[in-house]
Amino acid sequence: MEWLRLFFLHPVSFYQGAAFPFALLFNYLCIMDSFSTRARYLFLLAGGGALAVAAMGSYAVLVFTPAVCAVALLCSLAPQQVHRWTFCFQMSWQTLCHLGLHYTEYYLHEPPSVRFCITLSSLMLLTQRVTSLSLDICEGKVEAASGGFRSRSSLSEHVCKALPYFSYLLFFPALLGGSLCSFQRFQARVQGSSALHPRHSFWALSWRCLQILGLECLNVAVSRVVDAGAGLTDCQQFECIYVVWTTAGLFKLTYYSHWILDDSLLHAAGFGPELGQSPGEEGYVPDADIWTLERTHRISVFARKWNQSTARWLRRLVFQHSRAWPLLQTFAFSAWWHGLHPGQVFGFVCWAVMVEADYLIHSFANEFIRSWPMRLFYRTLTWAHTQLIIAYIMLAVEVRSLSSLWLLCNSYNSVFPMVYCILLLLLVKRKHKCN
């Protein structure tokens, strides 16, 4: 079957699929209470190391090194200092690795190694876990192990204290993908027995497999449509709108299927939602809320629900600590975290402006649109506009070359974000007059 061949030809999907038996084995051993807490930490850590070497080859050193350094900082610094230093080190290391990708793509004009790209993706996820843990320690949610390396304890005692940190930063179900799992949740899962009943786990995984099957079949169908039609380089006028919309649809389908696969691996290992807990409750945050993403008529809602655990992480890390222009700072940091490619900088800044416009436009509309036929018309119109703006932003973020970005900006697709920009200026001016 073509969809199955294409899905598992993707390197990350292949390695995530290969990790499934070990995730199920870990969950089974936890249910049977067959090994100690320390053995569970070691199992997850060893699995992460093996998966990193298999997927990244020699580039795995680029993930192991910051993980070791992060644990050293976590164990040696005071709780008030730990977040600042770990954040600076982790983002500096990740930026240097991204600069290596820039050098390969833009200076040498060579395609980057697939293993190196997998390494960068894993490094970005490691940054999430490192900063989330350091924030937890700084805020007092997690007991700090500060002074551990400076005390007179034996080496084995130092390693035992640091083992949960090492295991959390490199545990294999979340090494290559998956929603962000907090350290408290991770620790609770490892130290307690699995909360998943085998029958519940079987049906949950079966439902996810059916979702992936449906998404991949759609992916194949849409990719055939995209390949058969004109591209962004040779499309004409209004045809470019259709090209961008279908291409963005292809990207979204790919993201959805991979997010569900990543979520399935976490679920198989016992890190999914507990029985009776609905998606979105505190602790478990699925990345793919497809129903909300595809039916929302608000760009701000799409921004909160797209890659939901990352959106919450950005809100906690940047937005809540920003005094001036928090929205712009959050999207600017997201561009930095993603690698600062020209299309990413343009796309995320555009997204920030669109979200700001979204707030003002819908607040204004809620004041003046009263009748339900007009509300239905308004909701339909803004839904279509939102989908077209998101398609525009998605292509801007995904394209690598400046020439492709220039073609996108010069196409008729730029009309849609331009309309929101004009409305933003008019509503800001009106708001100032009213004040």
Catalytic machinery residues: 307, 338
| Burial (Cβ within 10 Å: 0-12, 13-18, ≥19) of residue 414 | middle
Residues 6+ apart with CB under 8 A from 247: 226, 232, 391, 395
Q: In this structure, how many other beta carbons lie within 10 angstroms of the beta carbon of residue 148?
A: 19
Residues linked to residue 373 through DSSP beta bridges, in sequence order: none
CA proximity to 317, closest of 334, 301, 296 = 334
Hey, what are 66's tokens?
Answer: 């910051």
- Rounded to whole angstroms, the Cα distance separating 404 from 396 reads 8
Side-chain half-sphere CA neighbours of 343 within 13 A: 19
The DSSP secondary structure of 38-60, one letter per residue, reads HHHHHHHHHHHHHHHHHHHGGGG
Taking every pair of Cα atoms in the chain, the longest distance, rounded to a whole number of angstroms, is 74
Query: Quick one: tokens of 198?
Result: 């085998």
Phi, psi values for residue 400, rounded to 5°: -100, -35
Give the 3-state secondary structure of residue 61: helix
The two counts, helices (H) then strands (E), for the chain are 18, 0
218's CB contacts (< 8 A; 6+ apart) are 253
